[in-house]
């Protein structure tokens, strides 16, 4: 019997949004490796190797380092479910959509949540956290390192100081920064840090690399109640990812292959070189956009170097420009969320997507679309600004 649908045959897009990013050819090949059982000795070895590479990515010696089976939001939920109990207090930075999600998860645990808000496109001032925590017993200080809904970047060292002052666990959402922006878990004393496989690591979405230090392990042992989620209970998960290798769930075998290869790519390039590549290409992008007369949403140094928020000019239909880029040039960028919907574009240069060629192609394509929609600019201004020695 003939299937009612044909084979999957998606177009090879140039992914320049806030995620996912383009996948390295080596990672695609890893996905084709033969399937193994989740307790097969060869797969257990692959798990160990993946953990070694994750510790190098995060800059940590934490025993509790592994990929959560789920997207970046699963890493976020793992953090909230294990670090908080009902009745405890969390202070959360809410500089956009994903800070709001972090706060929502904390509330679902039953915690009292103090939200620290910032104007659209700006990070939360650490002094807000200091003032909010004064005189209170704070269990968790949750910070979104890079807020991908706006492009705002938080200063983790400043929030570490605040966490020290109030005795809180510092939980960091590095979904769109790990592997693209300087991040050193042990040196910066981050208690919990998680990311996503599909952003700066350039693997498919589906895993959330996660690490937690011994302070968090002790806090988990001291819990009065079990975490409300069975699936994300770290005391169970680490019996599988730890030395015991006790069955917990069927790991996404092929995705672990993919993540392992993606981490090998990161390791071979070197973190310092990778951070510099992201900085250099994003600076070129911003230079070109500003030469075209466009304005960034977030000023430096509070601006991410992996996702850039760009204001759509007055009178220009932001959604139409995005559609034209996709239909005419096969380039995907994203629009704004919430109050920024229709007002900004979000351009991501992450992992394999972060290349000079992609920067030049996007600038040329965007210039053509804007000019044809009536935006006044000098022909070739963006590309010329980047090409200037």
Q: Are residues 196 and 262 in the same domain?
A: yes
Model confidence band, residue 369 (pLDDT cutoffs 50, 70, 90): very high
Checking DSSP bridges between strand 140-144 and strand 169-173, what pairing results, if any?
A: parallel
CATH number at residue 179: 3.40.640.10
Q: Are residues 277 and 364 in the same domain?
A: yes
Mention every residue, 6+ apart, whose C-beta is less than 8 A from residue 322.
333, 334, 335, 345
Q: Are residues 278 and 154 in the same domain?
A: no
- pLDDT greater at residue 246 or residue 310: 310
Residue 212 lies in a domain: yes
Residue 389 in this model has a pLDDT that exceeds 90: no
Of 354, 196, 206, the C-alpha closest to 273 is 354
> What three-state secondary structure class fits 353?
helix
Q: Are residues 125 and 165 in the same domain?
A: yes
- pLDDT greater at residue 190 or residue 245: 190
pLDDT of residue 377: 87
Q: Are residues 251 and 187 in the same domain?
A: yes
Structure tokens at 241: 């990812």
Q: Are residues 258 and 349 in the same domain?
A: no
> What three-state secondary structure class fits 243?
coil
What's the average model confidence in pLDDT over 134-149?
97
pLDDT of residue 51: 98
Chosen domain end from 241, 268, 295: 268
Judge contact between 24 and 352, C-beta under 8 A.
yes
Average pLDDT, the chain: 96
314-323 per-position pLDDT tens digit: 999 999 999 9
pLDDT of residue 246: 87
* Domain extent for 318: 271-387
Phi, psi dihedrals of residue 80, rounded to the nearest 5°: -70, -40
Q: Are residues 244 and 343 in the same domain?
A: no
Chosen domain end from 268, 286, 317: 268
DSSP H helical segments within the chain, as ranges? Answer: 25-31, 41-58, 72-83, 97-109, 126-133, 156-166, 214-221, 234-241, 253-269, 271-291, 318-329, 356-372, 381-387
Residue 17 lies in a domain: no
Q: Are residues 238 and 303 in the same domain?
A: no
Q: Are residues 276 and 258 in the same domain?
A: no
pLDDT of residue 82: 98
Structure tokens at 66: 């592994």
Residue 9 lies in a domain: no
> What three-state secondary structure class fits 192?
strand
Residue 155 lies in a domain: yes
State yes or no: cis peptide before 20, omega within 30 of 0: yes
Residue 18 lies in a domain: no
269-279 per-position pLDDT tens digit: 999 999 999 99
Q: Which residues of 268-283 are buried (b: 16+ CB within 10 A; e: fewer)?
A: eeebeebbebbbebbe
pLDDT of residue 224: 96
Chosen domain end from 268, 292, 310: 268
CATH number at residue 335: 3.90.1150.10
What's the average model confidence in pLDDT over 2-29?
95
Judge contact between 159 and 143, C-beta under 8 A.
yes
Angle at 274 between CA 211 and CA 292, to 5 degrees: 120
97-107 per-position pLDDT tens digit: 999 999 999 99
Residue 276 lies in a domain: yes
Classify burial at 300, counting beta carbons within 10 Å of its beta carbon; exposed 0-12, middle 13-18, buried 19 or more: exposed
Q: Are residues 103 and 217 in the same domain?
A: yes
Q: Are residues 233 and 307 in the same domain?
A: no
Checking DSSP bridges between strand 146-147 and strand 307-311, what pairing results, if any?
A: unpaired
Instruction: Report d(CA 387, CA 228) in Å as an integer.
Output: 55
279-298 per-position pLDDT tens digit: 999 999 999 999 999 999 99
Residue 183 lies in a domain: yes
Residue 183 in this model has a pLDDT that exceeds 80: yes
What's the average model confidence in pLDDT over 111-126?
97
Q: Are residues 77 and 222 in the same domain?
A: yes
Range from 50-54, 288-292, 335-339, 384-388 carrying the lowest mean pLDDT = 384-388
Domain total in the chain: 2
DSSP string, 187-209: TTT-SEEE--TTSTT-S-SSEEE
The number of beta carbons lying within 10 Å of the beta carbon of residue 218 is: 9
Model confidence band, residue 380 (pLDDT cutoffs 50, 70, 90): confident
Of 22, 9, 14, 16, the C-alpha closest to 204 is 22
What's the average model confidence in pLDDT over 62-68?
97
Residue 11 lies in a domain: no
């Amino acid at each position: 019997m003939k299937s009612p649908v044909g084979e999957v045959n998606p177009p090879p897009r140039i992914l320049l949004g806030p995620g996912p990013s383009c996948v390295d050819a080596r990672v695609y090949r890893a996905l084709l490796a033969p399937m193994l059982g989740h307790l097969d000795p060869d797969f257990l070895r692959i798990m160990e190797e993946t953990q070694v590479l994750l510790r190098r990515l995060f800059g940590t010696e934490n025993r509790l380092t592994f990929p959560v089976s789920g997207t970046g939001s699963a890493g976020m939920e793992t953090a909230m479910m294990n670090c908080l109990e009902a009745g405890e207090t969390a202070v959360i930075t809410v500089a956009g959509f994903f800070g709001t999600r972090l706060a929502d998860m904390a509330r679902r645990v039953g915690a009292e949540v103090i939200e620290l808000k910032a104007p659209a496109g700006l990070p939360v001032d650490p002094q807000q956290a200091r003032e909010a925590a004064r005189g209170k017993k704070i269990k968790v200080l949750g910070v979104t390192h890079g807020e991908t809904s706006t492009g705002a970047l938080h200063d983790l060292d400043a929030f570490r100081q605040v966490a020290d002052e109030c005795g809180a666990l510092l939980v960091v959402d590095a979904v769109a920064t790990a592997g693209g922006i300087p991040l050193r878990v042990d040196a910066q004393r981050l208690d919990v840090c998680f990311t996503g496989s599909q952003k700066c690591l350039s693997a498919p979405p589906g895993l959330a690399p996660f690490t937690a230090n011994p302070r968090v392990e002790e806090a988990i042992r001291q819990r009065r109640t079990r975490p409300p989620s069975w699936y994300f209970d770290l005391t169970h998960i680490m019996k599988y990812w730890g030395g015991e290798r006790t069955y917990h769930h069927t790991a996404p075998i092929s995705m672990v292959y993919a993540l392992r290869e993606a981490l090998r790519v990161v390791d071979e390039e070197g973190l310092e070189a990778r951070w510099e590549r992201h900085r250099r290409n994003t600076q070129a992008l911003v230079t070109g956009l500003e030469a075209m007369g466009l304005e960034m949403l977030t000023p430096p140094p509070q601006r991410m170097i992996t996702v850039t928020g760009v204001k759509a000019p007055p009178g220009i239909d932001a959604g139409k420009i995005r559609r034209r880029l996709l239909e005419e040039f096969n380039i995907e960028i994203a629009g704004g969320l919430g109050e920024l919907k229709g007002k900004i574009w979000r351009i991501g240069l992450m992992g394999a997507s972060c290349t000079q060629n992609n920067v030049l192609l996007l600038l040329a394509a965007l210039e053509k679309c804007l000019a044809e929609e009536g935006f006044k600019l000098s022909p070739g201004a963006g590309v010329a600004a980047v090409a200037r020695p």
